[in-house]
Amino acid sequence: MVFDIIQASKEMCKDEFGVNKAHNQIGGFYVQGSLVSIDAEITGNLCGKRFVMKHGNANSIDAKKPYRPYYISNNGMVNGVIYETESDGGWLKKYEFTQMQLRGMTYDLYSVALGKEGTKSLLYCGNRQIAQIDSESIVYNDLHNYRVYAVDEFSSEIAVMFAAYLYAIGPFEPGKKVKSSVTKYYSKTTNKNLLLKYNPNFIKSTVE
């Protein structure tokens, strides 16, 4: 399954994204913030399934140094959490990544920056890769777009929530107006353990 996440608008404290497959909108989400906090509330849906993500306390999370957790709920019931954490190992081996605990399952997202090729965010469930989120290396007018490759519909739902979270804790800036601009992201990942997560042939298995 291949689809795009397109930023449709950027207001003072609310940004809108559409999820499009083959030019048909199959979902979307809003990132709502305020001028008094760096955190946001995310509301969205994909193929009729709705979700809400809100910042919460990290004390109850069983993970190594959980940072900026957002709790995930459906129909008013919390059933998961997503946060930043770090791997084990010495300072040359460890790396930061994003982790989600949802309905008793754990999902890991590893971001690998490849210079002008952009960033590849690799979504795993255990040792199995289930999706890849591609971020553009050049962003025009501060509007961010992503292409997602997923093995099935459920994996695509997980990937959309990861993409929304990454935007909320990254590029999202409440109070900042859209203006004509070109921003280039040409960084490169050098951590060898992190680079091993990237499989350049993965997307072939997701093309229908």
Mind listing the pLDDT tens digit for each residue in 29-56?
999 999 988 999 999 999 888 999 999 9
Residue 178 identity (one-letter amino acid): V
Q: Report whether 159 contacts 4 (CB < 8 A).
A: no
Phi, psi dihedrals of residue 21, rounded to the nearest 5°: -125, 120
Position 48 scores a pLDDT of 86
> pLDDT, tens digit, for every residue of 115-162?
999 999 999 999 999 999 999 999 999 999 999 999 999 999 999 999
Q: With 90 as the cut, is the pLDDT of residue 76 above it? A: no
Q: With 70 as the cut, is the pLDDT of residue 26 above it? A: yes
Residue with tokens 């008094």: 36
Residue 81 binned pLDDT confidence (cut-offs 50, 70, 90): very high
Q: Report whether 173 contacts 116 (CB < 8 A).
A: no
**Max Cα-Cα span within the chain:** 46
Query: What average pLDDT does this structure show over 80-85?
Result: 96
Position 208 scores a pLDDT of 53
> C-alpha 17: how far from its chain's center?
13
For CA atoms 196, 198, 200, 204, give the dihedral sign: positive
3-state secondary structure of 103: coil
Q: Structure pTM?
A: 0.94
Residue 207 binned pLDDT confidence (cut-offs 50, 70, 90): low
CB atoms within 10 A of CB 82: 28
Q: With 80 as the cut, is the pLDDT of residue 6 above it? A: yes
